[in-house]
Amino acid sequence: MTRQSEARSWAWDEFGAAELGDARRTGRLVAMAAAAAQRPSGLVSAVFGGDAERQGAYDFLESSHTSAGPIVDAVGRSCVARCMGEPFVYVPIDGTSLTIVDHENSKGFGHVGTYQHGLRGLKVVTALAVSPSGTTIGVAHLEWWNRPRYGKLSSYRPPAQRESQKWRDTIDAVIGRFKEAAPNLRLWFQLDREGDMKTTLIPLVNSGHWFTVRSQYNRRLKDQGCDRSYLRDKMAGRRVIGEYSIHVPRRGKRMARRARLNVRCGSFTIATQNKWNRQVVPLDLNIVWVREVGRVPPGHKRLQWMLLTNRPTQTLEQAREVVDGYCYRWRIEDFHRTWKSGVCDVEHSQLRGSPQMQKWATILAAVAARAERLKHLARTAPDQPASLELSSFELKALRILKERQKKRTETLPDRDPTTNEAVTWIAQLGGYIHRKAQGPPGSKTIQRGLDRLLPAAELLEALAEQKKIR
């Protein structure tokens, strides 16, 4: 299968069921996604080389007959289909902003960041599906909105107008999609401190699915008599049930390291309160508190996580399952980097309005999840043959380019490379230096390598079609 036909097949699986009211619109969407998968970029003009297909893409994005909703729904349903067969699925959820250049405030975007900086763009809550082995499966949901300029933050707003409601809408949308197509598949939601609020905790407790939420507040416990007690105070008095180490990945200038954690566990009833009507809702939760011990490299913060969950936490093994699941929440941070400023570079888009941007960014979100899958397959299934992900012409081109830049002491195997070897070679084409102290290649270096590999593979394929090479 050639790269073009493979991208077309993926795009049809991802977007072919989009309900856009006209089969021609769905066909255009599939063609746009296939082109973006081959040449990902935030700029529409960089993805589509021909005038006709470029104009067709602009017409689709500008059309008032399509919106981002059906495209998001198609991406979510295809994600659910790929989750079939898994024992359960992690669902990390996180909020982020897309900052778009809009100097004259004429494109209809809302405020992002602080009001003082005057940045414009889109707000979005993302739900990702991740397999139990840690491989990104796809985008389960995107909840888009424009943030208006609010008045005083203390002024009352109805629940439907609050940004916290977007988190609940995301949870409800994910649960609804899985209930419709995979009702017996258990989800394990993973939320960072931003998700520690009653708007998310209450529906998660009532959902019937598993969840882990990192605590942001020193939650008040349900009153016992006249005494007030708080979660962190109670957990500090708990004994350490054990210690173990986790891998902390590299982030920017922060080096990867092994962190030694001690573990405390407990079960409590916390009291969530509505500050407007003082209504209190008690929630029975299990708690895992992990704190990093031992020496920490200079410039690194010591890890300290208070995790709220409905999973059992009576033993060290059960607590480790909760902590290891929360570590998979980092997959959504990797995805956001790939989507926003990495391979897809969506924030460099120059589209002229919010509806157009939401549609284009949703297409690129599916492409970013696909890129993350290739990266993690090299780490989680390194011995699989690379022919499962790369075409025969891409493997031939990769070997030729690798031969040109290999070290004098380096010998290439006679067989086809494994997935791990192929991804490493591709990343080296993009400037990755394969050293022991360096972490595995990231999405940017892999994409730079693919930018060199794919034209060479297309040339070999064209020469083979003309029977000038075998």
- Return d(Cα 127, Cα 191) in angstroms, integer: 10
Cβ count within 10 A of residue 9:
13
Domain boundaries, the chain: 3-67+351-369, 75-340, 381-465
Dihedrals phi, psi of 20, to nearest 5 degrees: -110, 5
- Return d(Cα 82, Cα 382) in angstroms, integer: 21
- Position 1 scores a pLDDT of 47
Tokens representing residue 274 in the block? 């509505």
CATH superfamily to which 381-465 belongs: Transferase Inhibitor Protein From Tn5; Chain (1.10.740.10)
Domain 3-67+351-369 in CATH 1.10.246.40? The answer is yes
Over residues 163-193, the pLDDT tens digits come to: 899 999 999 999 999 999 999 999 999 999 9
pTM value is 0.86
- Return d(Cα 418, Cα 387) in angstroms, integer: 8
- Position 405 scores a pLDDT of 84
- Position 65 scores a pLDDT of 93
- Return d(Cα 439, Cα 370) in angstroms, integer: 21
Residues facing 260 on adjacent strands: 245, 293
Contact status, residue 382 vs residue 423, Cβ threshold 8 Å: no
- For the domain spanning 75-340, the CATH number is 3.90.350.10
List, for the chain, all residue ranges whose pLDDT scores fall below the cut of 50.
1
Which residues, 6 or more positions from 464, have their beta carbon under 8 angstroms from its beta carbon? 393, 470
The DSSP annotation for 401-469 comes to: HHHHH--TT----SSPPBHHHHHHHHHHHTT----TTS----HHHHHHHHHHHHHHHHHHHHHHHTTS-
- Position 227 scores a pLDDT of 65
CA gyration radius for the chain?
Answer: 24
- Return d(Cα 83, Cα 211) in angstroms, integer: 18
Pairing of strands 186-191, 88-99: parallel
- Return d(Cα 204, Cα 207) in angstroms, integer: 5
- Position 422 scores a pLDDT of 87
Between the alpha carbon of residue 367 and those of residues 14, 190, 236, 330, the distances in Å are 10, 22, 44, 18
Contact status, residue 383 vs residue 391, Cβ threshold 8 Å: no
